[in-house]
Structure 1
Amino acid sequence: MHYQVTDQETHLAKNPHHIFNINIIITHLFISMIILEIGSTVTLLVIPFLSSLVLAYIYFHGKKVQQKGSWFVSAHWALAWQRSKTLLISYGIALVMVLLYVLIDTLFPGGFSMNDFSAEGTQTNLGEIITIRFAALVIFLAVLITFLQTGISVYDAGKGIIDPKIEKVLSRNSDSNAEIGEGDDEVHHKGKKQLNSKETDNSDA
């Protein structure tokens, strides 16, 4: 849905999405690469911890924006928080997987190890490797999906667009940005006013 917005509102509406994606780039790309080079597997827990601090900022700052900002800007902060919850859920699933492995390994020590057939008689802990890989896969999928979605949201914010379903999270009132209609550059919803291509171009101008 296209909304009647000012240039300042479109600029401010992009901020939560920029923060979300910068957080992903720094924590899940750069910091994870550094940890894999010089740290241990356990040190990887630093990544979701640091990321969660940024996601918490998105939540609390979004609440402040709702008190003093326009509905359109507040809606984009709310949308960024919805994406943040997806990422936090992936962290939770990964943590549960690791804790289950630790519990099983404590009850049955060495049960997931394989002999390396080396002269030193060392063993590889297959349970730890499999658990870490699957936990990382869960987080990777969440990161990939939300990163792509957020990139689209940056474009939408610049065009004065947001999915009207966000009203389920942040209700509208008489002071909310006026609806213009749904253009060709977005998903259409039943019962919503539709814009033709010319009207869409005019609303983006």
Structure 2
Amino acid sequence: MIFDVDESVRKRAKTPHELSMINLVGCHLIAAPAAIVLDIGFMGFLIPLLLSLSVIGFIWFRAGAETASGDWFVAAHWRLSANRTRILIIGYLISALILGMAMLATSGDSKGDIMMVAISRVAVVPALITVMICFVLESGSIYQAGRGEVPDGIVKRMPPPDTLSAVQDGVVGQNQSG
């Protein structure tokens, strides 16, 4: 649903999505491969993960703070970004499960180190796929925020105030949600 909001409000609504994009690019597409190339070892997985989880925690915190007090349109986009980080966390959990099972399987084997290197490369795939999914979703959300749009699912979960005007067929009118 598209709403009639000021350009300054639209710009503030882009912030959570831009922060998510910085997280995705910085932690996953730059820091993680750099850590692998620098041969840091297991810490190469943990450092980007901890940085990313810190950003996700901040997004969740701000989503709660914006919902409690603030502009509805901005709060809706913070909530949308927070919801999308759950996809990334699912990817992390699947990757951690694969790594954990690999550690258990190779713990008593003399060739365990070689197998762990191979399996760790496979374990990264679920996280990488969810990073790409989140990248597409967040870039679309930046566009939506710039248009004054909020997805219908968020509008249903977080009804807009009656004072906020919705744009229907290019005409500004009063909010029709109940």
Task: Give the TM-score band, short-chain normalised.
Answer: 0.7 to 0.9
Name the counterpart of 2:149.
Answer: 161
Alignment equivalent of 1:179, drawn from 153, 157, 166: 166
- Judged with a 3 Å threshold, the aligned counterparts in structure 2 of structure 1 residues 101 and 124 are, in CA distance, closer, same or farther, namely closer
Matched, 1:109 2:98: no
1:52 matched to which residue of 2?
Answer: 53
Q: Which has the greater radius of gyration?
A: 1
Residue in 2 that maps onto 1:125: 114
- Segment of structure 1 superposing worse, 60-69 or 8-17: 60-69
Distance 1:34 1:62 in 2: 31
In structure 2, do the counterparts of structure 1 residues 99 and 2 end up closer, same or farther at CA, with 3 Å as the change threshold? same
Between Structure 1 and Structure 2, the one with more helix by share is: 2
The match for 1:87 is 88
Q: RMSD between aligned alpha carbons?
A: 2.2
Give the TM-score normalised by structure 2: 0.87
| Normalised TM-score (structure 1) | 0.76
Q: Distance in 1 between matches of 2:15 and 2:82?
A: 12
1:55-95: CA deviations, max 9, x gaps?
11000011111122121111110110111111011111111
**Distance (Å, rounded) in 1 between the aligned partners of 2:28 and 2:95:** 14
Secondary structure of 2:162's aligned partner: coil
Q: Comparing 161-170 with 134-143, which one deviates more in the overlay?
A: 161-170
> How many angstroms apart in 1 are the aligned matches of 2:157 and 2:56?
17
* CA distance in 1: counterparts of 2:157 and 2:114, whole angstroms: 45
Deviation at 1:9, TM superposition (A): 1.0
Task: Give structure 1 stretches of 5+ with no counterpart.
Answer: 114-122, 182-194
Aligned length: 172
- Following TM superposition, where does structure 1 have runs of at least 4 consecutive aligned residues deviating by more than 4 angstroms? none
Distance in 2 (alpha carbons) for counterparts of 1:144 and 1:30: 14
Structure 2 residue runs of 5 or longer lacking an equivalent are 174-178
- Could you tell me how far 1:170 is from its partner in structure 2? 2.5
Given the superposition, is the C-alpha separation of residues 131 and 167 from structure 1 closer, same or farther in structure 2, using an over 3 Å criterion?
farther
Task: Report what 1:146 is aligned to.
Answer: 134
